[in-house]
Amino acid sequence: MNYDYNQWILEWNTILEQVRLVRSDGIVPQPIIKEPATQQEIEEIENRLGYQLPSMFRHTLLHFSKSVSLSWDFYKDPLDQALPKEFREGGFGTIEWRMDDIEDLDELAGDLDADVLHIYGIEDENYRSPLHGKLQFMHVANGDIIAFDMQVMGEPSVVYWNHETDELIYLADSFHSFIERLNKLHCVGNEIWAYEPFLTDQGLDPNGHNAQSWRKWFSELVVNHK
């Protein structure tokens, strides 16, 4: 598999520089991109899981980075109040993965199956958590989870689990597609209310009306700043 991860770095730096230009304090942290994982580290994780990691994610860990953290936000900045109303809940962006966050969710799913009445008030004894067959790779600060759906044929898709509604939301058809879509959306997210303006039945839509409006608003900010 050949893949140009340098393009991701270029896009991330461009996005963060745009935010840095328009924030009143000019403060946006640089992305943290750790070294690639070793083959031994990957094998240790896979031995613990009992199965191989999704191929695109595995390739990313081995050939790009085992830990990435980047973020931006308009919190406590005048721009937070200037956000268009359809994006008012999305004045922040995050892309983050760490090898330590990789977790098979079947055990958590089993606990939810057992405790569902207590947690959600659901009286259906046939309830089965949507987290069965899912592999977490990105933890969300609000308690939600971004994971691979290991039950699909071929390359696992990326899904979002909302812990408040117990809803599973489709985001993208693969790990690389997920990151590429986020890059086109200025790395918005990773909490569900930031993703919502861009969600369709086909997951995150980086080319729809809202996506175009979002990019236009960003571009105009930078132009007006200059």
**Structure confidence by residue, pLDDT tens digits, 4-23:** 999 999 999 999 999 998 88
Residue 179 contacts residue 95 (beta carbons within 8 Å): yes
What is the structure's pLDDT at 81? 76
Question: Strand locations in 65-110, DSSP E?
Answer: 67-73, 92-98, 103-104
Residue 107 contacts residue 85 (beta carbons within 8 Å): no
Structure-token pair, residue 44:
């240790």
Bigger pLDDT: 4 vs 226: 4
Structure-token pair, residue 161:
């689990």
- Nearest by Cα to 205 from 220, 195, 219, 215: 195
* 67-73 and 92-98 strand pairing: antiparallel
Residue 21 contacts residue 72 (beta carbons within 8 Å): no
Q: Where are the domains of the chain?
A: 5-225
Length of the chain: 226
pLDDT tens string 48-74: 999 999 999 999 999 999 999 999 998
Return the DSSP state at 188: B
What is the structure's pLDDT at 68? 98
Task: Name the pTM for this structure.
Answer: 0.92
pLDDT tens string 177-213: 999 999 999 999 899 999 999 999 999 999 999 999 9
- Alpha helix stretches (DSSP H) within the chain: 5-22, 39-49, 55-63, 79-82, 106-120, 175-184, 192-195, 209-225
The yes-or-no verdict on residue 148 having pLDDT over 80 is yes
Burial of 165 (0-12, 13-18, 19+ CB in 10 A): exposed
- Nearest by Cα to 191 from 163, 221, 211, 156: 163
For the chain, first and last CA: distance in Å?
41
Structure-token pair, residue 90:
């999305």
